[in-house]
Structure 1
Amino acid sequence: MNRRNFIAAVPAAAFSGRAFATSRQENPVRDRPDVHGGDRIDGATWASRSPAWGLHGAAATAHPLATLAAIEILKAGGSAVDAAVCANAVLGFGEPISCGVGGDCFAMLWDPKSRKVLGINGSGRSPKTLTLAEQRKRANAKGLINSYGAVSVSVPGAVDAWWTLHQRFGKLPWKDLFQPAIRHAEEGAPVVQNVAFYVGSSERIFNKPESHIEEAANFNALWAPDGKTPREGEVFRNPMLAHTYRLIAEGGGRAFYEGEIADRIEAYFKRIGGWMTKADLAAHQTEWVEPHSINYRGTDVWGLPPNSQGLVTLQMLNIMEQFDIKGMGFQSAMTLHHEVEAKRLAFEDRARFYADPNFYKQPTEWLLSKAYAKQRAALIRSDKILDPAYAGQAPSHGDTTYFTVADKDGMMVSQIQSNYRGMGSGLMPDGLGFMFQNRGELFALQDGHPNIYAPGKRPFQTIIPGFATRGGEPVLSFGVMGGDMQPQGQAQVISNLIDFDLGLQEAGDAPRWHHEGGNEPTGEQLGNPGKLNLETGVPDATKKALAELGWPLAPNPGVYGGYEAIQRHPGRYAAATEMRKDGTALAY
Structure 2
Amino acid sequence: MSSNLSHSSQTRKTVIETEHGVVAAQHRLAAIAGAEVLAAGGDAVDAAVATSFVIGVLEPWMSGPAGGGAMMIWRAEEGQAHALNHGMRSPGALDPANYPLSGRGKAGDLFPWEHVEGDRNVQGATAIAVPGVVDGLGQAHERFGKMPWGELLAPAVEHARKGLLVDWYAALVIASCTRALAQDADAADLFLEDGQWPTISGWTALAEKRLDQSRMADSLDQIARNGARALYDGDLGAAMARDVQDKGGCLSHDDLQAYRAEFSAPLDFAYRDARFHVVPGLTAGPTFRDTFASLATEDLGNAPGPDSYAAMAEALKGAYARRLGSMGDTGESPEAPGCTTHFSVVDRHGNMVAQTQTLLSIFGSRVVSPSTGFLMNNGIMWFDPVQGRPNSLGPNKRCLMNVCPVIGEQGDKRFAFGASGGRKILGAVAQLSSFVTDFDMSLEDSFHAPRIDASDANQLIADESLPRDVLDRLRENNEVAETKRTIFPYAFACPAGVMRANGQNSGCTEIMSPWGDAISEDMTKDIEA
TM range (shorter): 0.7 to 0.9
CA deviation after TM superposition for structure 1 residue 225, in Å: 2.5
Q: Is the 8 A contact 2:404 2:429 kept in 1?
A: no
Q: How does 1:217-232 map to 2 (within 5 A)?
A: 217-226=185-194, 227-231=196-200
Q: How does 1:106-185 map to 2 (within 5 A)?
A: 106-136=70-100, 141-142=105-106, 143-144=114-115, 146-185=121-160
* The one of 226, 230, 237 aligned to 1:251: 226
* The one of 353, 361, 366 aligned to 1:426: 366
Q: Is the 8 A contact 2:91 2:130 kept in 1?
A: yes
* The one of 410, 414, 422 aligned to 1:483: 422
Aligned length, in residue pairs = 486
Look up the equivalent residue of 1:241 and give its one-letter code: M
Q: How does 1:11-26 map to 2 (within 5 A)?
A: none
Sort the Cα spacing of 1:38 and 1:295 in 2 relative to 1 into closer, same or farther, 3 A.
same
2: CA distance between counterparts of 1:504 and 1:232?
Answer: 34
Sort the Cα spacing of 1:193 and 1:469 in 2 relative to 1 into closer, same or farther, 3 A.
farther
2: CA distance between counterparts of 1:457 and 1:231?
Answer: 41
CA deviation after TM superposition for structure 1 residue 250, in Å: 0.9
Q: How does 1:433-582 map to 2 (within 5 A)?
A: 433-471=373-411, 475-518=414-457, 530-547=458-475, 549-553=477-481, 555=483, 558-581=490-513, 582=515
CA deviation after TM superposition for structure 1 residue 340, in Å: 1.7
2: CA distance between counterparts of 1:111 and 1:496?
Answer: 24
2: CA distance between counterparts of 1:440 and 1:479?
Answer: 23
1: CA distance between counterparts of 2:190 and 2:82?
Answer: 38
- Backbone CA RMSD of aligned residues: 2.4
1: CA distance between counterparts of 2:199 and 2:285?
Answer: 35
Name 1:404's counterpart in structure 2. Answer: 344
Q: After superposing the two structures, state which structure 1 stretch, 122-131 or 264-273, moved more.
A: 264-273
CA deviation after TM superposition for structure 1 residue 49, in Å: 3.1
* The one of 292, 302, 309 aligned to 1:336: 309
| Higher normalized strand content (fraction of residues) | 2
Q: Deviations over 1:218-257 (max 9, x none)?
A: 1111111232235365542311111111111111001111
TM-score, normalisation: structure 1: 0.78
2: CA distance between counterparts of 1:321 and 1:119?
Answer: 24
Q: Report whether the alignment pairs 1:70 with 2:70.
A: no
CA deviation after TM superposition for structure 1 residue 116, in Å: 0.7
Sort the Cα spacing of 1:205 and 1:339 in 2 relative to 1 into closer, same or farther, 3 A.
farther
Q: Report whether the alignment pairs 1:280 with 2:231.
A: no
Look up the equivalent residue of 2:427 and give its one-letter code: Q
CA deviation after TM superposition for structure 1 residue 47, in Å: 6.9
Q: Is the 8 A contact 2:216 2:374 kept in 1?
A: yes
Q: Is the 8 A contact 2:383 2:391 kept in 1?
A: yes
2: CA distance between counterparts of 1:545 and 1:422?
Answer: 35
2: CA distance between counterparts of 1:182 and 1:338?
Answer: 47
Sort the Cα spacing of 1:566 and 1:192 in 2 relative to 1 into closer, same or farther, 3 A.
farther
2: CA distance between counterparts of 1:318 and 1:124?
Answer: 29
Identical aligned residues as a percent: 28
1: CA distance between counterparts of 2:103 and 2:86?
Answer: 27
CA deviation after TM superposition for structure 1 residue 498, in Å: 2.5
Q: Is the 8 A contact 1:404 1:412 kept in 2?
A: yes
1: CA distance between counterparts of 2:6 and 2:65?
Answer: 39
Q: Report whether the alignment pairs 1:585 with 2:518.
A: yes
Look up the equivalent residue of 1:128 and give its one-letter code: G
2: CA distance between counterparts of 1:79 and 1:535?
Answer: 37
2: CA distance between counterparts of 1:559 and 1:229?
Answer: 26
Sort the Cα spacing of 1:317 and 1:139 in 2 relative to 1 into closer, same or farther, 3 A.
farther
CA deviation after TM superposition for structure 1 residue 461, in Å: 0.7
Look up the equivalent residue of 2:344 and give its one-letter code: T
Q: Report whether the alignment pairs 1:92 with 2:56.
A: yes
Sort the Cα spacing of 1:410 and 1:548 in 2 relative to 1 into closer, same or farther, 3 A.
closer
State the SS of the aligned residue for 1:492: helix
Name 1:26's counterpart in structure 2. Answer: none
Look up the equivalent residue of 2:236 and give its one-letter code: I
Q: Report whether the alignment pairs 1:316 with 2:298.
A: no
Q: Deviations over 1:259-302 (max 9, x none)?
A: 23222222212221111111111110011011112222211012
State the SS of the aligned residue for 1:579: coil
Sort the Cα spacing of 1:501 and 1:114 in 2 relative to 1 into closer, same or farther, 3 A.
closer
1: CA distance between counterparts of 2:181 and 2:190?
Answer: 13
2: CA distance between counterparts of 1:253 and 1:204?
Answer: 33
Q: Is the 8 A contact 2:76 2:351 kept in 1?
A: yes
Q: Is the 8 A contact 1:355 1:459 kept in 2?
A: no
Sort the Cα spacing of 1:550 and 1:311 in 2 relative to 1 into closer, same or farther, 3 A.
closer
* The one of 249, 259, 277 aligned to 1:302: 277
Q: Is the 8 A contact 2:69 2:88 kept in 1?
A: no
Q: Deviations over 1:415-474 (max 9, x none)?
A: 111111122111111132221111221112344422122200011111121110235x66
Q: Is the 8 A contact 1:404 1:565 kept in 2?
A: yes
2: CA distance between counterparts of 1:474 and 1:140?
Answer: 52
CA deviation after TM superposition for structure 1 residue 403, in Å: 0.6
* The one of 26, 47, 50 aligned to 1:83: 47
Look up the equivalent residue of 2:361 and give its one-letter code: R
CA deviation after TM superposition for structure 1 residue 487, in Å: 1.0
Sort the Cα spacing of 1:550 and 1:515 in 2 relative to 1 into closer, same or farther, 3 A.
closer
Look up the equivalent residue of 2:308 and give its one-letter code: T
Q: Structure 2 regions of 5+ residues with no counterpart?
A: 107-113, 203-207, 330-338, 523-529
Q: Deviations over 1:150-201 (max 9, x none)?
A: 3322111010011101111111111111111111111235345544322221
2: CA distance between counterparts of 1:309 and 1:540?
Answer: 31
Q: Is the 8 A contact 1:478 1:565 kept in 2?
A: yes
Look up the equivalent residue of 1:477 and give its one-letter code: A
Q: Is the 8 A contact 1:46 1:506 kept in 2?
A: no
